[in-house]
Amino acid sequence: MNTIQYALLSLLAREPLSGYDMKQQINLKINPFWKISNNQLYPVLGKLEKACFIQLKAIEQDGYRPARKIYEITDAGLEKLKEWIAAPSETDVIRDEFTVKLFNSWLLEPEKMINILADRKRQHEEKLLLYANKMKELAVRPEYGDIETPLFSTAAILNLRMGYERSYMEWCDNMGMLLQGSLDQKSKTAKL
């Protein structure tokens, strides 16, 4: 059992869903947390069904549209999931392409680097706004604040990711100022 399989169980622990729904939720709604493609999704659903952690609940047909295979989690699946979440996790290696580029920033003219940092900040600001908007949507729901509802967990993830985006933005600012300061000093020395 790998993380993506537990992610699917996590979704079904909240409500019965079709494969299509799960993909949407992972890629869009729960976007801060994982990603999945069709090719992974359908075989993995098959595996989970074979292992009796999920089962087909219904097949919905809405007019001309393709049939929707709705899955639900089984008792065994819920048990498996609960076991997993209680087990300790290592901190994962963050593989961020930008960091590798940053490792080479000394090869770049400071002026270019300042622009790249400004761009980068904008990207993280966008994400922050996205999360903030999702948070606003959650805050008006009546269960908001109740720690025993799924909503609480979703809000917790959003909070975590908002903290990440804010710290990234702060870093962009600091780096930008550092480089700018270095440039200013250089032009001063050149004048003298």
Partner DNA sequence: GTCTTCATGTAAACGGTTACATGATTAC
Partner DNA sequence: GTAATCATGTAACCGTTTACATGAAGAC
Determine whether 49 is exposed, middle or buried from the number of CB atoms within 10 Å of its CB (0-12, 13-18, 19+).
middle
SS3 18: strand
User: Do 189 and 181 contact (CB within 8 A), yes or no?
Assistant: no
Q: In the block, which residue shows the tokens 């269960």?
A: 143
Q: Applying CB under 8 A, does 38 fall inside the site for its own copies?
A: no
Q: Applying CB under 8 A, does 64 fall inside the site for its own copies?
A: no
CB of 192 to DNA, least distance (A): 48
Q: What does the alpha-carbon distance between residue 161 and residue 30 come to, in Å, rounded to a whole number?
A: 11
Q: Which of 12, 17, 54, 81 binds its own copies (CB under 8 A)?
A: 81
Q: What does the alpha-carbon distance between residue 191 and residue 189 come to, in Å, rounded to a whole number?
A: 5
Q: Applying CB under 8 A, does 37 fall inside the site for its own copies?
A: no
Q: Applying CB under 7 A, does 67 fall inside the site for DNA?
A: yes
In whole angstroms, how far apart are CA 174 and each of 18, 170, 177, 182? 45, 6, 5, 12
CB of 20 to DNA, least distance (A): 3
Q: Applying CB under 7 A, does 66 fall inside the site for DNA?
A: yes
- Nearer Cβ to its own copies (63/86): 86
Q: Output the 3-class SS for 103-158.
A: CCHHHCCHHHHHHHHHHHHHHHHHHHHHHHHHHHHHHCCCCCCCCCCHHHHHHHHH
x/- site string to its own copies, residues 117 to 146, per CB under 8 A?
Answer: --xx--xx--x-------------------
Q: Which of 95, 136, 188, 191 binds DNA (CB under 7 A)?
A: 95
For 13, which DSSP code?
A: T
Query: Which spans of this chain sit near DNA (rule: CB under 7 A)?
Result: 2-4, 18-21, 24, 35-40, 42-43, 45, 60, 62-69, 93, 95
Query: Which spans of this chain sit near its own copies (rule: CB under 8 A)?
Result: 3, 6-7, 10, 13, 30-35, 78, 81-82, 84-86, 88-108, 110, 112, 116, 119-120, 123-124, 127, 147-154, 156-157, 159-160, 163-164, 166-168, 170-171, 174-175, 178-179, 182
